[in-house]
Amino acid sequence: MKDYSIIALLLTLLAQKPYDPMLTDEPFNEYDFIVVGAGTSGAVVASRLSEIPEVTVLLLEAGDTDFGNHLVKYPNSFNKLQRTSVNWNYDIVDQKHSFFQMEKPSKYPRGKILGGTSSINGMVYLRGSPHDYDSWQDHGAKGWSWRDVEVFFKKVENAVGDEISDRLGRGGMLNVSRGYRSQMYDKWIKAGKEIGIKEVDYFEEVEGISRLVCTYSEGIRQSSSDAFLRPVYEERKDRLHIVTNARVGKVLFVTDENGKLSADGVTYIKNGKEKIVKARKEVILSAGVIETPHILMLSGIGPKNHLENMMIKVVVDAPGVGSNMEDHFNNPLYFKLNSPRYYGQTKNSMKEYILNGTGALSTIVGIDGVLHHRTKYFGTDVSLSTKKRPFPMIEALFVPSPYPIVFSTHEKPAFHSGAVLYLQHPKSKGTISLNSTNPFDQPIIDPNYLSNHDDVKILIEGFRQLEKFEMTETMKETGFTMVVPDVCNGQVNKNPPRSDEFYECYARSFSRGTHACCTAKMGDKDDKMAVVDERLRVRGVQGLRIADASVMPHITSSNTQAPCYMIGQRASDMIKEDWSLI
């Protein structure tokens, strides 16, 4: 009998992941700064702080390395990343007003890997409307108006290619490019003109139809890890330490002789062992919209009653921790076509991708364009887009490649393309609360989607807006007709197709969210629900800041990664200023 063990060993070695040279095995006991979470914002903060040669930074990440993970790098593998170990796959509580048709328990995705959610997201790069940030300022985030923040977006961005707007930055670390354009996109533009919707360059003017700019370059995803950590770790090995599979449990505090409370370190669990590491200057929480409030509450910063019920010693009574969760509720839409010739993806797509890094496979399912629209409710109580802050309420991302239709329908179109309809400024708000005091138990997540009926009205207007495209001569040529579901809340949908009631049930049954924010929001001192001040410092303690999606006072009229990059950039500049490191 042959001995196959050597072959098995060789195969095992070949299959083994090579060690990521960016990682540190032996962290120090103390650093100037500890950043919790190597995600979209956290990687920026750690990278920018470690620019200062005299400063030491520890970056702790609960997930694994992205090194050698080809799924993360290849844009079109987006779907394959959604139910894997690089995703937190949170359970969310059964929703009263939505998710009728979704699997139970429904899952909420977030990236658990170097790069965080920027390693698993759809790569769409949209800054939001200038009015979003002016509205942040209106709500107490002093110094975060568009005029204040634009420069920080630019510091992050490195726009690649000639066709991209001059408004984007060109010297930053994050490569963004204007990629793919399908035939279907041209149809959207032509049809839009017929119904009075203009083509715009999103970075010049938000409302209208625009081609997308994405966080990919030459066909490869650019996560925050690729952009902000990999290019610098070699020269900064002495002062920037990155530890993966390190789950932070809580922030530690000391009280000085004057009774002032300061964060002076964190506990983290790696390989089953709890460790303590100290921060000489600050701890920065960048663990994202769910884990940042989770860590705060486990550390004693949160709503007093809730913490007392969980037998946690209250360090700061902060009622806003875990509240105000806002998300872009989004609906998949499908359009029947009379031919596959408008598709992005063809049999040559793989060849094109391999040879040039271009084409439909350089993006996820070929997404290439976006529509932003205010709806007829603009300026009314239904909409948050008051005349004062006219941001769009609806976004539709165009998906020219066919993707699986998620609902049952007696129409089985031979060819179809799609769009994803987003509600940009929801009035419904959700919560994050503790389930237990074990850091490994996920918190209770209740997004409370569509609890406010105005959100449904706005979504229906989104459907109506897309219906208008069907009536255009351009789209009639393509056979473009919306495919609608037969089911509603587990029953045959008896509502007249395309009535308001029909669309309401469609939205409540098949929508989801992936852009949550605002669970530790920024605001002024009179706002009891504000967790951080305008310099992102947690109120009531010293030496603790937050930099991630949770600090947004309100969600932006855009997908949320660009603002998270901006927040990371802004936070690091503020920290440097406050410690006289600039």
Residues at the interface with ligand FAD (CB under 6 A): 36-42, 60-63, 109-112, 116-118, 120-124, 247-248, 286-289, 291, 295, 514-515, 548-549, 559-562, 564
- If the CB atoms of residues 478 and 563 are measured against ligand FAD, the closer one turns out to be 563
Q: Are strands 247-255 and 261-270 parallel, antiparallel or unpaired?
A: antiparallel
- CA dihedral sign of residues 179, 183, 187, 188: negative
Q: C-beta of 274: minimal distance to ligand FAD in Å?
A: 13
Please tell me which residue in 328, 416, 515, 554 is annotated as part of the active site.
515
**Beta carbons of 182 and 418 less than 8 angstroms apart:** no
For ligand FAD, the closer CB: 116 or 265: 116
Nearer to ligand FAD, 38 or 419 (CB): 38
Residue closest to 454 by CA, chosen among 424, 484, 477, 434: 424
For residue 371, what are the β-bridge partners?
209, 396
B/e letters for 131-150, b = 16+ CB within 10 Å, e = fewer, are bbbbbbbeebbeebbbebbb
- Which one, 83 or 237, has the nearer CB to ligand FAD? 83
- Which CB atom, from 121 or from 481, has the smaller least distance to ligand FAD? 121
- In whole angstroms, the minimum distance from the beta carbon of 60 to ligand FAD comes to 5
- Dmax of the chain from CA atoms? 82
Please count the helices (runs of H) and the strands (runs of E) in the chain.
14, 26
Which residue, 127 or 236, is less far from ligand FAD as judged by CB?
127
Pair 206, 200: CB distance under 8 Å: yes
* Alpha-carbon gap, residue 545 to 518, rounded angstroms: 15
> Would you state the structure tokens that stand for residue 479, as one six-digit string?
């056979």
**Which amino acid belongs to residue 71?**
L
Residue 500 CA to residue 573 CA, distance in Å, equals 48
Q: Mind giving me the DSSP string for 73-114?
A: HSGGGGGGGTTSTTB--EEEPPPSSS-TTS-SSEEE--B-BT
Tell me how far the alpha carbon of residue 235 is from its chain's centroid: 30
DSSP bridge pairs for 513: 329
Q: How far is CA 278 from CA 239, 288, 309, 553, in A?
A: 15, 21, 29, 30
Which lies closer to ligand FAD via its Cβ, residue 221 or residue 236?
A: 221
CA distances from 368 to 125, 335, 560 (A): 11, 16, 17
CB of 141 to ligand FAD, least distance (A): 16
Contact 287, 46 (CB under 8 A): no
Nearest approach, Cβ of 273 to ligand FAD (angstroms)? 15
- Please, which residue, 286 or 474, has the CB nearer to ligand FAD? 286
Closest separation in Å from C-beta 251 to ligand FAD: 11
CB nearer to ligand FAD: give 37 or 303.
37
Q: Of 327 and 454, which CB lies nearer to ligand FAD in the complex structure?
A: 327
Taking CB atoms, the residue at the shortest distance from ligand FAD is 39
Whole-number Å distance between alpha carbons of 570 and 575: 9
- CB of residue 87 to ligand FAD, shortest distance in Å: 8
Q: Report the nearest approach of ligand FAD to the CB of residue 369 (Å).
A: 13
Give the Å distances, CA to CA, from 26 to 50, 174, 242, 267, 277.
18, 29, 10, 16, 12
**Is 515 part of the annotated catalytic residue set?**
yes
Rounded-to-integer distance, Cα 120 and Cα 114, Å: 10
- Give least dist CB 461 to ligand FAD, A: 23
Residues in CB range of 264: below 8 A, 6 or more apart: 252, 253, 254, 278, 279, 543
**Structure tokens given for 552:** 């947004």
Q: How far is the CB of 286 from ligand FAD (least distance, A)?
A: 6
**Cβ at position 382, least distance to ligand FAD in Å:** 26
Written as six digits, the tokens of 299 are: 């550390």
Contact 482, 461 (CB under 8 A): no
Query: Would you please indicate which residues are annotated as catalytic (active-site) residues?
Result: 515
